[in-house]
Structure 1
């Protein structure tokens, strides 16, 4: 793959809640509206931000994470994007140096400078100290510019600019503006498909960015890496039904790409609106928000019966997180109302008022280790004993994995390209020996 040098930046922050998600989306829309081909990536296992970033940029968004997706894939995806893009933006996760590997680690791996977004509300000269700390904490990571967010006035912006130490400049100062806000809920941003006015919101946010002088391009970065070999056709001739609607939407693009590259035919359906599973050899119930649509799911008796019949026929089913919740006999939503669902897994999934699990995990088998993560606000009470347990990144015990006939169900979200042979075995209903 030839070497390409194009403008690129890692949009990051001192911590969560600084506004980097909307700044990234607004920057992508600003440059797209200027006629540029913008490619955006997201650091870490996030489903919701990429949905918004795809609308903002008009291009597919992939996750990059040196541990979950692998270092080679991170380099390759960026190099591939650089073949046709005019600008590459990577949205970080949490704070610049939070997590392992952190957004800063990815930036160093890719050779991309960090561009921190700092919430300057209630801050003046200390802004410079925060910027200096981010720039000097890791001398191998370049931080040449910062963005001030939520300034109160032009004078406030000048105070922030004057506070910066030598070698760090203020790329722009964003005023407080409703256009830079986007609704969220317990798992993060509201799904892009649920906001009818999202494109208008992004255009208005882009105008705010323009007025703040943020229409300049970051410095060019060189990208070069060889493309991976084509995966084996392990799923040739297999038809996989994929649940995809407002209740089941947490799907990595890379997972779909891999299934197709391995020869599978994918057919999508809505458990909320359709009456039966399409003709298929296997079924995937991904994560999402079944708790927000439990009443509709419970009322769609035809679909519930179709999925139960699919299971009775001995066909493979992979249920992840929200998919696992839907497979339970009952789901108690956040208001305490109990809904009768599929009953493929005995017991009840119950929503909690707090986060019940978060973090990177892996599932080890004789066919390799499937890497991924967990993130949910519910718990499952079931008499079943796990067939296996995923392992947390630190090595301790993680999510339970349940198996019944050819059903594999867990709160664990897998990144399929990390273990193609294992994913093929699951969708073919083959026996898998867990480590």
Structure 2
């Protein structure tokens, strides 16, 4: 029996003292820089995020996968990293929030996976204090692997020299990004704009990569040993089934791992656009993921042909599974942030209205007949409906509240974004 080899690959988890320090910009710039050096880069994103991975995927030229110990499990995270290390010259993992923030923090992930941390620190308005912040991050928790620091928004070569001289020898400066408003990434209420919406993204990333290597040598991280781990393939419960998956500017919040899981269970995937298509692909079931339907309200409302074919699919008793934005699209009406209201597909009774404040955010566990599946919710809309929930989710954080899970005939929908590989049997049930 052949023994699987350990893969060694330079890797680091890019974190920060807080949100807003520039983690995504720095991670994308590093990715772009290493690609310019003809290195194969594989990128991961900590936590349940759809938007940052789009930017990072654009930068690296490959799908970006999530890493979350609670939603995915340690073994699955290790498996994804092991697979990436077999082909990559460098692995970069973008963290979430501040390094130690949250119930399953970036520090927890780095320590569990033994991937060293590179701390991005906004150096604007700081000199020697930069080193104090770096020292605190590196030593706050014992045995945390720490690669060094990356200075962001550095004012000048002289400023970079001050930062470098203040750091102790065991805290190397891995890179320094000069301050430049032209490399920032624009945002909206759920985070950054999607990659396809930033028309000059390639120019921004190229500029960022140049700036990253202009003030200090951009250093390649040290190799990490990724031990072999393989999971049993999921049962082929969807063999012979064809699933129509909505994918366009309004419906783009979908884990690549979810698509991989459906394919591994034997499904064939056919993509369509509720914005522009007038017909569905020939399919046994439909997957409507989350996204920004509120930003495309009138286009969705005006595409009567698509709404009619969705209704016919439902009336024929064929499965439909919808998450968050896809769920909103199936309601009777949706009102955007400016108060504009439009008719949606009308498969579910009720309406939703976008709110100025976040309505729910958190990790959730959902228990169905086939077992437990995990995911998260993150939405700014408020639902009004006469539907009674089939069941309710169990939130993992006190500040989050339960989400209703609805079944109407062959249609299943909720605000939840679920991670299919956690329980493929449950995921298959959405499409059978």
TM-score (norm 2): 0.96
> In the alignment, is the contact (CA less than 8 A) between 1:328 and 1:348 conserved in 2?
yes
Instruction: Please say which of residues 152-161 and 277-286 is displaced more in the overlay.
Output: 152-161
1:272 has 2:275 as partner: yes
1:128 has 2:131 as partner: yes
Shift of 1:127: 1.4
1:98-247 aligned within 5 A? 98-247=101-250
Determine the structure 2 residue equivalent to 1:296: 299
The separation in 2 between residues aligned to 1:321 and 1:423, in whole angstroms, is 16
TM-score (norm 1): 0.96
Determine the structure 2 residue equivalent to 1:417: 421
The separation in 2 between residues aligned to 1:265 and 1:174, in whole angstroms, is 44
Shift of 1:157: 2.1
Shift of 1:200: 2.2
Q: 4+ residue runs of structure 1 moved beyond 6 angstroms?
A: none
* 1:213-235 C-alpha deviation (Å, 9 max, x unpaired): 35320111111122111111100
Determine the structure 2 residue equivalent to 1:426: 430
* 1:388-417 C-alpha deviation (Å, 9 max, x unpaired): 111111488511111100111100000000
Shift of 1:19: 0.2
1:67 has 2:73 as partner: no
Change in CA separation of 1:340 and 1:88 when aligned onto 2, cut-off 3 Å: same
1:281 has 2:292 as partner: no
Change in CA separation of 1:41 and 1:214 when aligned onto 2, cut-off 3 Å: farther
Instruction: Please say which of residues 403-412 and 142-151 is displaced more in the overlay.
Output: 142-151
> In the alignment, is the contact (CA less than 8 A) between 1:389 and 1:397 conserved in 2?
no
Determine the structure 2 residue equivalent to 1:399: 403
The separation in 2 between residues aligned to 1:275 and 1:287, in whole angstroms, is 20
1:340-355 aligned within 5 A? 340-355=343-358
The separation in 2 between residues aligned to 1:212 and 1:153, in whole angstroms, is 8
* 1:320-361 C-alpha deviation (Å, 9 max, x unpaired): 000111111100011101101111121111001111111111
> 5+ residue gaps in structure 2?
none
> In the alignment, is the contact (CA less than 8 A) between 2:333 and 2:341 conserved in 1?
yes
The separation in 2 between residues aligned to 1:57 and 1:175, in whole angstroms, is 22
* 1:144-197 C-alpha deviation (Å, 9 max, x unpaired): 410111122222222222332452122232211134211111111111122232
> In the alignment, is the contact (CA less than 8 A) between 2:157 and 2:215 conserved in 1?
no
Shift of 1:380: 0.7
Shift of 1:203: 1.4
> In the alignment, is the contact (CA less than 8 A) between 2:51 and 2:193 conserved in 1?
yes
Change in CA separation of 1:214 and 1:380 when aligned onto 2, cut-off 3 Å: farther
The separation in 1 between residues aligned to 2:291 and 2:208, in whole angstroms, is 27
Shift of 1:273: 0.2
The separation in 1 between residues aligned to 2:252 and 2:136, in whole angstroms, is 38
> In the alignment, is the contact (CA less than 8 A) between 1:31 and 1:215 conserved in 2?
no
* 1:197-220 C-alpha deviation (Å, 9 max, x unpaired): 222221121111121335320111
SS of 2:212's equivalent in the other structure is: helix
1:10 has 2:10 as partner: no
Alignment RMSD (CA, Å): 1.3
* 1:86-129 C-alpha deviation (Å, 9 max, x unpaired): 00100001111111211111111111110000011122222122
> In the alignment, is the contact (CA less than 8 A) between 1:23 and 1:180 conserved in 2?
no
Shift of 1:142: 2.1
The separation in 1 between residues aligned to 2:271 and 2:176, in whole angstroms, is 43
SS of 1:222's equivalent in the other structure is: strand
SS of 1:328's equivalent in the other structure is: coil
Instruction: Please say which of residues 94-103 and 238-247 is displaced more in the overlay.
Output: 94-103
SS of 1:345's equivalent in the other structure is: coil
Shift of 1:4: 1.6
Structure 1 residue aligned with 2:337, among 334, 337, 352?
Answer: 334
SS of 2:403's equivalent in the other structure is: strand
Structure 2 residue aligned with 1:384, among 382, 387, 394?
Answer: 387
Structure 2 residue aligned with 1:372, among 375, 388, 401?
Answer: 375
> 5+ residue gaps in structure 1?
429-435
Determine the structure 1 residue equivalent to 2:252: 249
1:33 has 2:6 as partner: no
> In the alignment, is the contact (CA less than 8 A) between 1:241 and 1:268 conserved in 2?
yes
> In the alignment, is the contact (CA less than 8 A) between 1:118 and 1:147 conserved in 2?
yes
SS of 1:294's equivalent in the other structure is: helix
How many residues were matched structurally?
Answer: 428
The separation in 1 between residues aligned to 2:236 and 2:215, in whole angstroms, is 50
> In the alignment, is the contact (CA less than 8 A) between 2:366 and 2:394 conserved in 1?
yes
